[in-house]
Structure 1
Amino acid sequence: MSKTVLYARVSTTEQTLSHQRTQAEAAGFTFDDVLSDHGVSGVSVPLNERPEGRRLFDVLRAGDVLVVRWIDRLGRNYADVTETVRELLARGITIKTVINAMTFDGSAKDPMSKAVRDAQLSFMAAMAEAQVETTREAQAAGIAAARERGTYRGRKPSFDRQQLQSVVGMLAEGLAPAEIARRARVSRQTVYRIKEDPAGAGRALRAWEAA
């Protein structure tokens, strides 16, 4: 019996799993399972290197449906996204997006249907990567302007004062990053950043607290 699985990638503190799920349900989707990766970059971390992303390849079977908010949830690197999606399609899995209601049919056999599908995939993957580059350029311009004005504070920390103190304390106790992240309710990447430069984390937090 086929099943429908929602995959969500939450890369920042401003994004939430519940938001992506609510959007999908509002679009008429129902799910047999929901998998999500938190605090993971879609640019530098391929789907098959994410904890829950890896599980997709074990959970999904021919005839199943994979639902994502948009193709960028699978990744923002053109080569990685197209390779990943084509592998899933080759397994007979259908991929559907919430935004724009796109469908990439893994059961398509007709050459013309495959050509149209692959062209759409290539375009969307290219758009996902181009959006990253555009955002980077805009951020760089904004940072340069803020530095000229003397108002640049750096990226807003993904933790508050209490979380910072909690993470630092647990690091001193020797707890594992995964356990610290769970207890402090932050991503493992945040734990690693604080571990590498606790003083820098404190300065970044003070800059935003003083604003």
Structure 2
Amino acid sequence: MTTVLYARVSTADQTAAHQRTQAEQAGFTIDHVVTDEGVSGVTTKLADRPQGRRLFDMLRAGDVLVVRWIDRLGRNYNDVRETVAEFMKRGITVKTVINGMVFDGSTTDPMQQAVRDAMLSFMAAMGQAQAEATKLAQTAGIAHAKAQADQTAYRGRKPSFTRDQLTTVRDMNGSDASVSAIAKATGLTRQTVYRILEDEAEAEAVLARWS
């Protein structure tokens, strides 16, 4: 059995190394890391990404595919559902670092299958919804930062969080994780997590001002 971590890195603040560290801290022993950098999970299907295609070639029945969260596979509802279904059909188990979700095709019990498929659909839908919400927040944040820049060159205090940490805060908050759990996973203080969640548009604006 081979355990492969797939890391999709869409911004400069995200790193595959950070995603691997999170996986290992969660108890996974990673044999290989496959990374796509600078690739959108909204517009580009997994099978169309340079390294995403490798997964379909290298993974075999009995192998485990680890992702930080389902949204690393993509943020398109239909693509994510079809991708995970294809992996399960091939006997590949998909596991997430956050919340320790497990998706495999070994069960034949219809109720267990229904629960598994419902959870997958929910997570895929949430990934797309969060992507759309993030885009709106980014637009608002950039506009806010631009308006402030027109008034003054002062950028304020440098943000105490990165794009990767902001994304993780949103992901975990969307899955109803506690503030303490989010702080532990991201390495941020509880106060910083609270500030981000209270005003995501401002969090985006801070990053935009310092980008």
2:206 aligned partner: none
Residue 151 of structure 1 and its aligned partner are, at CA, apart by: 6.0
- Please name the residue that 2:98 is paired with: 99
| Equivalent in the alignment of 2:75 | 76
Deviation of the 1:148 alpha carbon: 4.1
Shift in Å, 1:135: 1.1
Aligned pairs for 1:55-74 within 5 A: 55-74=54-73
Alignment length, in residue pairs? 156
Task: Read off the aligned partner of 1:78 and give its amino acid letter.
Answer: Y
Alignment-mate amino acid for residue 94 of structure 2: I
- Look up the match of 1:88: 87
Unaligned runs of 5+ in 1: 154-207
Structure 1 runs (4+) greater than 6 angstroms displaced? none
Report the CA distance shift for 1:59/1:143 in structure 2 as closer, same or farther (over 3 A): same
Q: Which residue of 1 aligns with 2:3?
A: 4
The structure-2 alpha-carbon separation of the partners of 1:151 and 1:70, relative to structure 1 and needing over 3 Å to count, comes to farther
Contact 1:146 1:152 in 2 (8 A): no
Q: Deviations over 1:106-132 (max 9, x none)?
A: 222211111111000001011111111
**What letter matches 2:83 in structure 1?**
T
Identity of aligned residues (%): 67
Q: Does 1:136 align with 2:152?
A: no
Q: State how far apart, in whole Å, the 1-side matches of 2:105 and 2:57 are.
A: 17
Give the whole-Å Cα distance in 2 for the aligned partners of 1:86 and 1:9. Answer: 19
2:71 maps to amino acid: D
Q: For 1:124-169, what per-residue CA distance to the aligned partner results, in whole angstroms no more than 9, with x for missing partners?
A: 011111111111122222333344442699xxxxxxxxxxxxxxxx
Q: How does 1:1-211 map to 2 (within 5 A)?
A: 2-149=1-148, 150=150
Letter in 2 for 1:12: T
DSSP-derived class of the 2:51 partner: helix
What is the rounded CA distance, in whole Å, between the counterparts of 2:8 and 2:37 in structure 1?
6
Unaligned runs of 5+ in 2: 154-208
Equivalent AA in structure 1 for residue 103 of structure 2: F
TM-score, with structure 1 as normaliser: 0.68
* Partner Cα distance (1:24, 1:133) in 2: 26
Rounded to whole Å, the distance in 2 between the matches of 1:72 and 1:14 is 17
TM-superposition CA deviations, 1:30-82 (whole Å, max 9, x none): 12221111111111111001111101111111111110010011001111111
Larger Rg: 1
Instruction: Return the alpha-carbon distance in structure 1 between the equivalents of residues 105 and 112 of structure 2.
Output: 11
